A = this chain, B = another copy of it.
Amino acid sequence: MLKPCKKKYDLGGSPLEDVGAIASHCLEKIDSEAVARFQAKLETKNYSVFAAKDLLSRPFLPAMLLHKPDEFERRWQELLGKLNPTTSRIDMGEEKVNLILYTAITAVCVCFDLWKPRSRKTPGTFLEVLLGSVLGRLLPRHKRTKFIPIPEQSESVSTDIVFTNSTATKGIVFPAKITTRERIVQPFAHQRILESVFGKGRYQSILLCVSETQRDKHSAVNEICVPGTIRLFQSYLACLSGIYYLDPPNRYLKPDVTSVIPVGSLGLFLTSALPALSRL
């Protein structure tokens, strides 16, 4: 199911009907074949893990998951109707957007954890298609690509999602990652290269993520946060214009981080921050 959807996306489409159908299919499979295994508390948040046979899923927030496929489908269609290409925002509440998008990506992640654990890269591809398609509908006058060619270099800067304005004078780079881990350096390094090549102001980078959680060996939930690294990179490598999560780590919402870089929920970005950027 993912392949034809990815193909439409790669041809420049924003196949959100297909994206919703894939997520819904995954929710159905989870609903009928997986069992909730355990719960783990991380500060203020309660995580769950699904199990099937001897495999466990990654942790997720059950409070943010629309468990019933028909409920998800209804909300998904509602979201598609609220994508406003004129204002470049989703005309919906921040939390509602988070809930629907979190359900879509989590359904696919859990499904691959339980039944296709070897296809490790596919959930990341789905996230890229999901976010690139939503942004594509919100930025109809921008051109979407996957990389930025560098003059006189064989290598492009290969970012996940790039939108260039109609006059090709400004670009927004959206690295999209399920979690960042040791790859947190990449968006900063890419932004730095873009500034070296094109000067400051031509491109800006906004990192879009799902969460920083992972299940540890003992079936508890960990959150890997590197606030010092982010401050260091933001000060001395390059400035990102923001980091937005579906499940933002509490640690990154503290003032020592938010004073150097905007951090918030992806729903906040899609309902409030994107409209200003879209006018660039």
Contacts of A196 in B (CB 8 A): 235-237
Task: Give A152's nearest chain B residue, CB to CB.
Answer: B235
Cβ of A197 < 8 Å from any Cβ of B?
Answer: yes
**A153:B197 contact, CB within 8 angstroms:** no
CA–CA, A154 and B257, complex, Å: 12
Report the bound CA distance from A182 to B184 in whole Å: 12
Q: Return the contact of A150 from the options B150, B186, B232 (Cβ within 8 A).
A: B232
Query: Could you say which of A3-11, A16-24, A187-195, A272-280 contacts chain B?
Result: A187-195
Contact B197 A236 (CB under 8 A): yes
Looking across the interface, which residue of chain B has its beta carbon closest to that of A185? Answer: B189
CA distance A189 to B235 in the complex (A): 13
Q: How far is the CA of A31 from the CA of B259 in the complex (A)?
A: 58
Q: Indicate if A255 sits at the interface (CB-CB under 8 A).
A: no
State in angstroms the CA–CA spacing of A237 and B236 once bound together: 12
Q: Give the CA-CA distance A154 to B230 in the complex, in Å.
A: 11
Write out the residue numbers on chain B whose beta carbons fall within 8 Å of the beta carbon of A197: 236
Nearest Cβ distance between residue A157 and chain B, in whole angstroms?
A: 7
Interface residues, chain A, with chain B CB atoms under 8 Å away: 150, 153-155, 157, 182-183, 185-186, 188-189, 192-193, 196-197, 226, 228-229, 231-233, 235-237
